[in-house]
Amino acid sequence: MADQLDLNLLRVFDALLRDGSVTAAAERLHLSIPATSRALGRLRRAMGDPILVRAGRGMVPTPFALRTAPRVRSLLDEASALISADRELAIGDLERTFTIRINDGVAATLATAAVEATAAVAPGVVLRFVGEGSESTEALRDGSVDLDIGAGDVSAPDIRSMLLYRERVVAIVRADSPLARPRRPTLAQLCRYPHVSASRRGRTRGPLDEVLEAEGLQRRVAAVVPTSAVAAFLVASSDYIGLAPQRLAEQYGRALGIRWFPIPADLPEIEVRLLWHARLDADPAQRWLRDTIRDAFDSPA
């Protein structure tokens, strides 16, 4: 009869998938290598799958293990929250990796503040930032992502949301561009130069184009790049005009050799929000991290 999966076996499964090695998993769990190897054997019998298979000198997870890993991590998070909900959290002793999905324009300004704020009081915490491959909430549900930071909101009943700050989009140009003079350019002047669009989906149009059309104007988008950071680098070495979050332009403009200025149009502000799954509401460690990130951006843009 197959072994039943208990919480300790699930912890071993999670460590094996994180480290891809019995030795490293044993070290993470403070177990002996033989004990961890025996646990892997029990996992294989209980799940009916090899879990890890030999590939050259290392081990790689099976497709089944990769599919199962996020759900196991989610279950462990729920168990941790249940056990520690009424306990006082010792932040200084916390050892945990949080995976944060984040927009690159936000990451450029938030990552430094978040890492510094957490490292100052919780040196054992690792913040693992991953890019936006998809806005799907399934990553929050299955535990593969702990927090999601970006523009917009989600109306799903099991997803919680917190407003971090509001952001304005500004125009950026090379520091020696004629548009970088003290007098702010008009919309017509902005249309005289080629533009670079930052869009992960490859879009060339946005709210600015609607404003321009209402004024009988049109800009020419000459290049489309996937991120605001790439757009800033391109602007710094060309005559292109770009659009970027104001915080990004303020923090890195001088170092990149670019200038920024407000766009003379009533463009919508961007709401940057923090999202997480409802099951982690009561998790003291995640609650502390959410509060830490919120406090780092307590003042509106």
Map 93-162 to HEC letters: HCCEEEEEEECHHHHHHHHHHHHHHHHHHCCCEEEEEECCCCCCCHHHHHCCCCEEEEECCCCCCCEEEE
Residues 184-238: tens digit of each pLDDT: 899 999 999 999 999 888 888 999 999 999 999 999 999 999 888 899 999 999 9
Question: How far is 145 from 77, CA to CA, in rounded Å?
Answer: 11
* Per-block mean pLDDT, blocks of 10 residues, the chain (301 long): 67 88 88 90 91 86 88 77 64 87 81 89 90 74 84 79 91 92 87 92 89 94 91 93 92 92 90 88 88 75 41
For the chain, list the domains and their CATH numbers.
Answer: 7-85 (1.10.10.10), 91-167+270-298 (3.40.190.10), 169-262 (3.40.190.10)
| Per-residue pLDDT, 112 | 85
Residues 39-48: tens digit of each pLDDT: 999 999 999 9
CA-CA distances (angstroms) from residue 225 to 16, 127, 161, 195, 243? Answer: 38, 27, 29, 11, 12
| Per-residue pLDDT, 88 | 66
Rounded-to-10 torsion of CA 104, 105, 111, 114: -130
Question: How far is 85 from 241, CA to CA, in rounded Å?
Answer: 51
| Per-residue pLDDT, 54 | 86
| Per-residue pLDDT, 71 | 82
| Per-residue pLDDT, 137 | 80
| Per-residue pLDDT, 2 | 41
